[in-house]
Amino acid sequence: MVFLVPLALVALLTAAVTWLWDYTVVRLVWRPYAMAKALRAQGIHGPPYKLARGCNDDIKAMKEETDGLVLDVHDHNYLPRIAPHYLKWRAQYGEPFLYWFGLKPRICIFDYELARQILSSKSGHFVKNDPPATLLDVVGKGLALLDGIDWVRHHRVIKPAFAMDKLKMMTATMVACAQSMIKELENQACQSKNGEIEVDFNIQFRELTADVISHAAFGSSYKLGKEVFQTQHDLMDVYLQSLLDVQIPGLKYLPTERNRRKWMLQKKLRTSLLQIIQPRLASTSRDYGNDLLGLMLGSCVATEQGGKEGGLSMSIDEIIHECKLFFFAGHDTTSLLLTWAVFLLSAYPEWQERLRKEVFREIGSEQQPSADALSKLKEARNKRKS
């Protein structure tokens, strides 16, 4: 027994030295050096790697320089403001080029054909990178971040929710949500002295898409949906604050102010999603609905009861991940697209008039738009070709 303690200490010391060697020498020094050297031999160059930080300091400095850049209303070349490092390194090192996101190497490409080959590859050579843990807390490890058999399993469950006939059925919900937003804005304008109000459409469209997704995809109330979106938005702020920081091993487990806030938001997000899921799951009816949430719950419960093959099942945790992904991805992308569309229409009033005339001509001023009527709006669908 006397000899066990020294042996245990020796084993722990050996493990600590091995980990320290792997992290400080192999990961921080040798691996970046060897990888950069191998890529240079292939003609791929880039900014130098800096110990532990990679190119993060350079990225942060360039972003700070361009934060105050004001674009002309008709200038749509926004890359110099939001991604100045890509443009500078492309001009300096050619394309493609190598840069370092902390310890992780990144090859930046600009060739569309090369991008198509990478995105359409079925060989498995281009696997999806594991995103940072904080980002996973926001969007979940859903369909967009899965590979292999897990991707196939989730895709088979989720795909029917996005069949064309079901998307057409959602049109009425989308129209009702949009009309509710318009009516609220009209009421506010009527209450002002001159009949005009200033509207932040970014906020309005965030709330509109939250309303649509909550009802159409998850059968949830707007209040619960908005709580999910707001929590994800707050978590994303935490992620962005630490995006370019050095990732110190073990720091994420310490009760720092940022970590405590992150843990609180993680718990709140899961609780909000369970408040949407549990009432549907507790229903005595075996019909969980034909929306996205209903299909996922049907797969989960039917498998537990032996009604489907195990290969198509989804656990509650996997359903939560998919809810995170579709809440965040559907909400963020759509609200930004709507905001950008309204901005362009304000910058090009001639297009406002053309599209308004087409809507009145094809749909009418009183009739509600339907999914079939949208196909008649040729100007709206083809304006990018003009």
Q: What is the 3-state secondary structure (H, E, C) of 258-316?
A: HHHHHHHHHHHHHHHHHHHHHHHHCCCCCCCCCCHHHHHHHHHHHHHCCCCCHHHCCCH
Least confident of 101-110, 141-150, 256-265: 141-150
Whether 30 and 168 share a structural domain: no
113 occurs within a structural domain = yes
Whether 262 and 215 share a structural domain: yes
H or E stretch covering 101? strand 97-101
Express each pLDDT in 334-351 by its tens digit: 888 999 999 999 999 999
H or E stretch covering 238? helix 222-241
Whether the upstream peptide bond of residue 132 has omega within 30° of 0, thus cis, is no
Query: Which pLDDT score is estimated for 205?
Result: 92
352 occurs within a structural domain = no
Which of 126, 161, 185 is at the close of a domain?
126
Phi-psi region of 302 (alpha: psi -120 to 50; beta: other; left: phi over 0): alpha
4 occurs within a structural domain = no
308 occurs within a structural domain = yes
Whether 122 and 206 share a structural domain: no
304 occurs within a structural domain = yes
Whether 75 and 175 share a structural domain: no
In the 8-state DSSP scheme, what is residue 160? Answer: G
Express each pLDDT in 294-327 by its tens digit: 888 887 765 554 544 444 578 888 889 988 888 8
In the 8-state DSSP scheme, what is residue 366? Answer: S
Whether 212 and 326 share a structural domain: yes
313 occurs within a structural domain = yes
Residue 196 carries which side chain, given as an amino acid letter?
E
Express each pLDDT in 48-57 by its tens digit: 999 888 999 9
Total domains present in the chain:
2
CA distance 55 to 40: 17
Whether 214 and 319 share a structural domain: yes
Whether 217 and 70 share a structural domain: no
- More confident site: 148 or 108: 108
Whether 53 and 183 share a structural domain: no
User: CB–CB of 36/98 below 8 Å?
Assistant: yes
Q: Using only C-alpha atoms, what is the Rg of the chain?
A: 26
Question: Among positive and negative, which fits the CA dihedral 264, 267, 273, 274?
Answer: negative
Whether 210 and 169 share a structural domain: yes
pTM of the model: 0.75
Q: What share of the chain is helix, strand, coil (3-state, %, to 5)?
A: 70, 5, 30
Crossing angle of helices 257-281 and 292-304, in 10° steps, is: 80
Range of the domain at 101: 10-126
H or E stretch covering 71? none
Structure tokens at 333: 């992308």
Whether 159 and 251 share a structural domain: yes
Which of 88, 110, 126 is at the close of a domain?
126
DSSP string, 16-62: HHHHHIIIIIIIIIIHHHHHHHHHHHTT---SPP-TTTBTHHHHHHH
108 occurs within a structural domain = yes
Q: What is the CATH number of the domain that holds 215?
A: 1.10.630.10
Whether 165 and 26 share a structural domain: no
Whether 216 and 337 share a structural domain: yes
85 occurs within a structural domain = yes
* Residue 286 pLDDT grade (very low, low, confident, very high; cuts 50, 70, 90): low
CA distance 376 to 241: 45
Query: Which pLDDT score is estimated for 310?
Result: 44
Of 347, 379, 351, nearest to 363 by C-alpha is 379
* Residue 61 pLDDT grade (very low, low, confident, very high; cuts 50, 70, 90): very high
CA distance 165 to 225: 24
Question: Among positive and negative, which fits the CA dihedral 349, 351, 356, 357?
Answer: positive
